């Protein structure tokens, strides 16, 4: 089969193109060539988490690739049949565990059997989905496509050393090896799984959160101060706020907070919105908590049911049908729609803040 050519510098030109293309290539068995990877970025080319994702996929589906390393700006990737099993993956840095999961989760949802992954790396930081957000927001969406998916956090990993550790278990419901081709799988899922349909935010009922920090910051009450600052900022919303404070031993010193706004529609729990912030040098714990709270309030005030961070993660799932309204269309979301349309031409469109499936 001819290689699908993908320009890695398109749109925001980040690693999202690589991750989404790897996931769709593995699922559809379509070989790809990505060139100009992260071109124009300060440090262009593949990063550790991309290399780790490719190595995982090589082991899970006997994929082949050209010789690659950190900084490589071209990737040729040829997947084969998915054969799930237990694997241990070490990104080796504070490279994002959640971002690595973006590249491998979609195909593993439809693997031939259960997958168990132990992944070591970063659990929160600049430009990445915190593992707490993955667990509390994204995981609930993914669960509709499989028998079960769980992500357990054992260790937190902050920049620069990482060292975080999570256990991921995925039990497939639709096993791709039982279908003659991807289109048969897609049709079965479309007919038997409720498609994504998020258009109404609902009524705000409560806000939950996790404020975390390295154990050495316990005396300074960093987690508590982050939480208190967030609670003060969120007070104007006049709903119950419950934030858990957590300390863990870590290789590098760090902190962060993730907040989740819970909504109901006709008394039933609806989709949640999320926002996060993380500690940095010369950034007080109070600033971290307030920043996360203000970001969450902005998402709530948009009246959209999908926050701007979840939107680009939902885009690949629209190949099974559906649509959603988001608070704003980011460059990440636009780029992901473009990547999906490379595999399935004109299948997704953006109308205002609505992203929807048209046809395949």
Which residues participate in catalysis according to the annotation? 332
Residues with Cβ within 8 Å of 197's Cβ and at least 6 positions away in sequence, in order, are: 322, 323, 324
Cα–Cα distance, 297 to 302 (Å, whole number): 9
Cβ neighbors of 3 (< 8 A, separation 6 or more) are 31, 32, 33, 76
Structural element, H or E, at residue 354: strand 354-357
- The token pair that represents 90 in the structure block: 């070490």
Contact between residue 274 and residue 215 where contact means Cβ atoms under 8 Å apart? no
Q: How far apart are CA 259 and CA 242, in angstroms?
A: 9
> Residue 223 — φ and ψ, nearest 5°?
-60, -45
Q: How far is CA 105 from its chain centroid?
A: 9
The C-alpha atoms of residue 42 and residue 280 are separated, in whole angstroms, by 20
Write out the two tokens for 136. 């509390």
Q: Which residue in the block uniquely carries the two structure tokens 């995981």?
A: 139
């Amino acid at each position: 089969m001819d290689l699908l050519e993908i320009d890695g510098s398109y749109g925001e030109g980040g690693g999202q193109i690589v991750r989404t293309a790897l996931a769709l290539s593995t699922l559809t068995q379509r070989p790809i060539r990505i060139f100009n990877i992260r071109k124009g970025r300060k440090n262009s080319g593949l990063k550790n988490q991309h290399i780790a994702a490719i190595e995982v996929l090589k082991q899970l589906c006997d994929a082949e690739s050209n010789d690659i390393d950190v900084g490589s700006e071209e990737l040729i990737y040829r997947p084969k049949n998915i054969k799930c099993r237990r694997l241990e993956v070490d990104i080796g840095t504070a490279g994002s565990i959640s971002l690595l999961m973006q590249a491998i989760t979609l195909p593993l949802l439809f693997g031939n059997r259960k997958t168990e992954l132990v992944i070591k790396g970063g659990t929160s930081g600049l430009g990445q989905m915190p593992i707490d957000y993955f667990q509390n927001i994204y995981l609930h969406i993914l669960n509709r496509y499989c028998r079960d998916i769980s992500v357990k956090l054992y260790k937190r990993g902050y920049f620069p050393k990482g060292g975080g550790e999570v256990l991921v278990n995925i039990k497939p419901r639709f096993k791709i090896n039982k279908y003659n081709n991807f289109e048969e799988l897609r049709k079965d899922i479309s007919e038997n799984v409720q498609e994504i349909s998020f258009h109404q935010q609902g009524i705000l009922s409560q806000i939950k959160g996790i404020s975390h920090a390295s154990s050495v910051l316990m005396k300074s009450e960093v987690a508590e101060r982050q939480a208190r600052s967030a609670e003060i900022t969120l007070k104007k919303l006049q709903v119950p706020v419950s934030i858990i404070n957590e300390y863990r031993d870590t290789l590098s010193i760090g902190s962060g907070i993730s907040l989740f706004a819970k909504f109901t529609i006709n008394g039933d729990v609806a989709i949640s919105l999320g926002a996060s912030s993380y500690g940095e040098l010369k950034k007080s714990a109070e600033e971290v908590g307030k920043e996360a709270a203000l970001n969450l309030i902005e998402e709530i005030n948009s009246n959209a049911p999908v926050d701007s961070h979840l939107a680009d993660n939902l885009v690949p799932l629209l190949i099974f049908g559906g649509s959603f309204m988001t608070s704003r269309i980011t460059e990440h979301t636009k780029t992901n729609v473009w990547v999906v349309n490379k595999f399935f031409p004109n299948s997704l469109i953006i109308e205002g803040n609505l992203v929807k499936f048209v046809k395949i």
